[in-house]
Amino acid sequence: MCGRVAQYDSWADLVAIMRLPGPDMLKEPIEPRYNVAPTTQTLLMVNDEGTLIGERVRWGWRPHWAKDKPAPINARLEKVAHGPFFRAIWPHRAICPVSGWYEWVDEGGPKRQPYFIRRRDRYACLSAAIGQFPAGDREPAEHDGFVIITADAQGGMVDVHDRRPVVLSPELAAEWLDPATPKERAEQIALLQGEPAEAFEWFRVSTAVGNVRNQDRGLIEPLISEA
């Protein structure tokens, strides 16, 4: 999975998708973003004692003892639950709601061709994530951050990229967020119950997405092929 996503769903739409029974709170206003890059403050959803909290957290995290390594932005599903690198944050689950994500494909041209991948039903992709983030009234800290969990791509999606985020249904996303969900159950959700490739569609988009300064909605519009 390449490191670029879009987040343009409103908070009201995200809350409606999640369908959690408790209260919700957005810590700061959000604006539609069509070209979200790693290391930037990215919208994350967490369950804070029964309240669904939306806050911005840096996309990317590494443990304090790995200062000589770049901060990963993704975590491979096959290793995340048991490897030492993410051990400290594996219990701290979150949802990174993305409207879709971008991948670049070498199609033989002078530049790689970007694709946009989104749900066919156009709902937000509720991507499983883990991280270190503010809880309760704690202020953001220097080492806060998160990673998106990724798995092997399936079906035709493999032609675009061999990795994909683990996207959960609203019901499983709620279970993933619930602090009462055992770690073993959370691992099974991520391993076996992510949305299948058939739930998504993908299409070519403008190469303008390669410049992170470009943020307009045109970035997610299908590229019209010349006849």
- Catalytic residues, which ones? 2, 103
Cα torsion angle, 52, 168, 12, 31, sign = positive
**In the chain, which ranges are continuous DSSP H helix?**
11-18, 77-80, 170-177, 183-192
CA dist list (Å): 112 to 101, 103, 127, 203, 210 = 16, 9, 25, 14, 10
CA dist list (Å): 85 to 51, 128, 139, 195 = 29, 17, 24, 26
Torsion region of 68: left, alpha or beta (phi above 0 gives left; psi -120 to 50 gives alpha) = alpha
Q: Which helix (H) or strand (E) holds 168?
A: strand 167-168
